[in-house]
Structure 1
Amino acid sequence: MNEEKDEASILAILSTEYNLNSNDAKFYLSQYSQFEKATIQYSIAENYNMELTPQMIEATLSNLEQITFEVTDACNLKCKYCGYGDFYENYDARTHKNLPIEHAKKLIEFLSKYWETKENLSEGEVIYVSFYGGEPLLNMPFIKSIVRLFDSYNLKRPIKYTMTTNAILLKKHIGYLASHDFHLLISLDGNKYNNSYRVWPNGKSSYNIVYECMKYIQDNLPAYFKDNIEFNAVLHDKNSVEEIINFFREEFSKTPLIGELNLNGIKKEKKDEFKTLFKDTAQSINESSQKGKLEKIMKDKDPFLNLLTVFIQRNSIMSYPDYNSLFSLKRKIQSLPTGTCIPFSKKIFITVNGKLLPCERIGQEYSLGYVTNQKVELDLDVICKYYNKWLMPISQKCGTCYMRHSCQHCIFNFPNSEKPFCIDYLDKENFKRFLKRAIDYLERNPQSYRHIMKDIIMR
């Protein structure tokens, strides 16, 4: 009786909110029901209690995809929302310190021993060497030393250099960076007003120098600009997804990455002020009169499409993470509770103080090891105990979440990580709402499914 009542309610919604006739409403209800039945049955079919082991970490170190150096903690700008600025408290004190080249050498020597083991299955695959700050161009000698160092190694893997920069000093160094095929991620939030929070220490706008630099590279190194320059815009109360997209397409024929303000590590006394700056990407898209157009333009830069891609990939019976899984008679998903990565499965990040972290996006209080002039301290057994201590308390809750195989939430970014809870936990009813949104999205963007299956998963 309840199922009949639910069906009648859904048919009524389809008819009124979507202006569908009776036959079309029944068709979409049938389509949704089949999708719901398959995914919900799958979602409750697995146990969720996998623990991290040292062998897992050894495998990730042996096949490391990216090394990121915090070149310096100094910066020539003072952006209002900076992750190392006044809003936050989860980072080491900024003292205009540079990363010693000796620490970088020690780390590379340490990692190279893993790359020489039988666990290394990545011969021929790109390893990304990335430079981060602060503003990395303030310490150009370090960058050149690292490039020379990797040139002297025989890694049997091609090197791709990348850098995140505010572009203030870029014109001065673009010749060197272009000659070494650096991929550059430029921080710019849109037009001059949109970019109001990216200022010099005296509060004056940094927009003109960045804009002019970009136009210089676009005019004088057009092929390099097209292939190697990407933009990252931070979303806040002085811009919108629509404004950002329109600006970069009109000025540079580019579609930028769009990121939200970091919600983790905010000082208690700054939370109210922070809320006035914060803007949600999905909400900004939904508020736009160009919603459908923006979704098509953004493609895989659309955060919902990213979530949908992970969901389809991990819930597809024909999607396998490696060839061993392909030939397995019993398919069983193995992953840690939450969306927390196996340490160093994506990158290893070294700070100016020699701390080692899984990435630059988590608080620096969560260091997993250290580099000194003498050695690298990275105890895999201790790391496993540390991770499992945090992950196991929430694993039971994860086991009842209908989105657990598609989770992208890192345990280090959970509110109150000592007793973690997930703000995006989905029970059955909320999972149904996600499925509805997924179907709505694919109905508006039918090309996206082919893009997910062919260009993203199958590439």
Structure 2
Amino acid sequence: MNPIYKTFSTLSGFYVYDRSTNSIINIERNEFDLLNKNDNQTIIQFKKKGYMKDNSIERIRHLSTDYLKHYLHNNIEQLTIQLTQNCNLRCSYCPYMGGYDNRKYSNKIISIETIRKGIDFLFAHSQNSKQIAIGFYGGEPLLEMPLLKEAVEYIEEVKEGREVVLTLTTNGTLLTDDNVEFFMKKSFQILISLDGAKEYHNANRVFPNGEGSFDVIMKKLRHIKEKYPTFFSKLTINSVISTNNDLSCSNDFFNADEVLEQLVVNMTTLSEHNSKDSILYDDSFKIINDFETCKAYLYMIGKISQRHVSKLYKSSIGQVNSIYKTLEPHEIKEKETHPGGPCLPGVSRLFMDVDGNFYPCERVSESSEIMRIGHIDSGIDIVKAKYLLNVGAITEQECINCFAFNFCKACCSSADGNTELSREKKLANCNNIKYSALTDMKLITMLKKFNYNFEESAYEEK
């Protein structure tokens, strides 16, 4: 017998996660102890109830492997276009600043010919996609506003009734009435980077002369709110909380600032992926992060009002509901399957750099040969895309026997070895993935214990 399961306990009870049915089962203390000893008789009793079936997986191979060519020809959903590798800021944690291995600043600008080829490629390979998205990225894309306008003009010429969503990621310092009115007219979705209170924003997000960008951005946002209130209300803020940022201070800033009060704020932390140095957050960050996350959970179970939930942590609610969907019961019967981490390379969020090279998304390393899955003149390399899709194959035996199989978030970028996928790099992430999976399961059992209704997604505000 070789069923894959994981026992865990919380303050409210004892549980076992059964991978064969993707189910969490509330068990007695004696069952918990016996399962921890892999007691055969106890396992047999669970088998009789339909749980703990023998591990059927013999090979790691993604179920979409044989269909990937079809998806890449017909189902591409998004193209992100890098307009330039230049930027008017020099943010300390930016991948282009040298602290990461994946990017570097340059004066390169994409040509309109390459943009048109990219747009043509997207429309030609998205016939089955009901809606497609085209994003503009940098560097700082607003440095090339005339080029961006020319790209949008071309999109309108060739879209022929297709539903196209236009997006832009910007540092916000170059926003003007002219381009705001253009974005309004073209219904752009805009993401603006703002890290929090002035002291901490300016510690990282600076102009080349070292001056902070906070006052410039806030002046722009205040003006947009006054002159274009409808457009302003649809903006989204991205806040990067770096290791030298006081989370408590930034948290208070976003909750209290009158200019930003109506905007959605997404919080991100620095990633160690491709970083040349270790990224360590201090204990105060962890304490505040846990406290604010806990308040979001207390709101979910109806114990506090929504007004007590920090804007930086409201996204936690949607994340929990996504985790719950991962736990939808299903039986693993396939001999050949793959952990749940990778998206379909090139299908979900294809990225094109200034030279016309294709990558699975904008988050991977542009200097990595293995992440370069094609070029606008030659198309996408199906063999390489399949290789990246099947990243789990490089740790096949570990994946076959892992309890966190259904929770795995490891994609090809976590195993980027520059010229090939790296087994060592992928395995280095496994303990964090298992820890995260176990934490997620404990959270789900706690919320269900307090009668949180996952089907309705949220409680009415008290």
Alignment-derived partner of residue 325 in structure 2: 313
Change in Cα spacing, 1:70 to 1:429, as seen in structure 2 (3 Å) is closer
- State the Cα distance separating 1:243 from its structure 2 match: 3.8
> Equivalents in 2 of 1:214, 1:335: separation in Å?
48
Q: TM-score, normalised by structure 1?
A: 0.75
Q: Does 1:423 align with 2:401?
A: no
1:198-213 matched pairs, under 5 angstroms: 198-213=205-220
Alignment-derived partner of residue 24 in structure 1: none
- Say whether the 8 Å CA contact 1:187–1:232 is kept in structure 2: yes
Q: Does 1:262 align with 2:266?
A: no
- State the Cα distance separating 1:79 from its structure 2 match: 0.4
Q: Does 1:75 align with 2:64?
A: no
Q: Does 1:407 align with 2:413?
A: no
- One-letter amino acid of the counterpart of residue 289, structure 2: I
Which has the higher mean CA deviation after the structures are superposed, 142-151 or 154-163?
Answer: 154-163
- State the Cα distance separating 1:231 from its structure 2 match: 0.3
Alignment-derived partner of residue 397 in structure 1: 398
> Equivalents in 1 of 2:284, 2:157: separation in Å?
45
Change in Cα spacing, 1:129 to 1:111, as seen in structure 2 (3 Å) is closer
Change in Cα spacing, 1:334 to 1:298, as seen in structure 2 (3 Å) is farther
Change in Cα spacing, 1:164 to 1:154, as seen in structure 2 (3 Å) is closer
Provide the secondary structure at the position in 2 that maps to 1:421.
helix
- Say whether the 8 Å CA contact 2:321–2:454 is kept in structure 1: no
Provide the secondary structure at the position in 2 that maps to 1:98.
coil
Provide the secondary structure at the position in 2 that maps to 1:275.
coil
Alignment-derived partner of residue 289 in structure 2: 285
> Where in structure 2 are there 5+ consecutive unaligned residues?
1-6, 14-25, 36-45, 301-305
- Say whether the 8 Å CA contact 2:254–2:311 is kept in structure 1: no
> Equivalents in 2 of 1:334, 1:307: separation in Å?
29
Provide Cα deviations, 1:342-399, integer angstroms capped at 9, x if missing partner. 112311100112210111111111211123xxx23322134324654x4312132122
Provide the secondary structure at the position in 2 that maps to 1:103.
helix
- State the Cα distance separating 1:239 from its structure 2 match: 3.2
Alignment-derived partner of residue 131 in structure 2: 126
> Where in structure 1 are there 5+ consecutive unaligned residues?
1-6, 16-27, 319-328, 454-459
- Structure 1 or 2: more helix by fraction: 1
Provide the secondary structure at the position in 2 that maps to 1:450.
coil
1:100 equivalent among 111, 117, 120: 111
Q: TM-score, normalised by structure 2?
A: 0.75
- One-letter amino acid of the counterpart of residue 165, structure 1: T
Provide the secondary structure at the position in 2 that maps to 1:84.
helix
Provide Cα deviations, 1:116-171, integer angstroms capped at 9, x if missing partner. xxxx433xx32111011100000012211111111112444311111010011112
Change in Cα spacing, 1:289 to 1:128, as seen in structure 2 (3 Å) is closer
1:335-354 matched pairs, under 5 angstroms: 336-337=338-339, 339-354=341-356
Change in Cα spacing, 1:139 to 1:53, as seen in structure 2 (3 Å) is same
Which has the higher mean CA deviation after the structures are superposed, 105-114 or 290-299?
Answer: 290-299
Alignment-derived partner of residue 144 in structure 2: 139
Provide Cα deviations, 1:207-235, integer angstroms capped at 9, x if missing partner. 00101111111111111111x20000001
Alignment-derived partner of residue 232 in structure 2: 225
Which has the higher mean CA deviation after the structures are superposed, 127-136 or 94-103?
Answer: 94-103
- State the Cα distance separating 1:409 from its structure 2 match: 2.1
Alignment-derived partner of residue 191 in structure 2: 185
- Structure 1 or 2: more strand by fraction: 2
Q: How many residues align?
A: 406
- Say whether the 8 Å CA contact 2:408–2:433 is kept in structure 1: no
Provide the secondary structure at the position in 2 that maps to 1:265.
coil
- Say whether the 8 Å CA contact 1:414–1:422 is kept in structure 2: no
Provide the secondary structure at the position in 2 that maps to 1:194.
helix
1:355 equivalent among 348, 357, 379: 357
> Equivalents in 2 of 1:214, 1:41: separation in Å?
56
- One-letter amino acid of the counterpart of residue 358, structure 2: L
- Say whether the 8 Å CA contact 1:230–1:256 is kept in structure 2: yes
Change in Cα spacing, 1:386 to 1:315, as seen in structure 2 (3 Å) is closer
Change in Cα spacing, 1:207 to 1:61, as seen in structure 2 (3 Å) is farther
> Equivalents in 2 of 1:221, 1:424: separation in Å?
47
1:244 equivalent among 227, 239, 250: 250
- Say whether the 8 Å CA contact 1:415–1:421 is kept in structure 2: no
Which has the higher mean CA deviation after the structures are superposed, 289-298 or 161-170?
Answer: 289-298
- Say whether the 8 Å CA contact 2:339–2:407 is kept in structure 1: no
- Say whether the 8 Å CA contact 1:68–1:348 is kept in structure 2: yes
Provide Cα deviations, 1:159-189, integer angstroms capped at 9, x if missing partner. 1111010011112421211121111100001
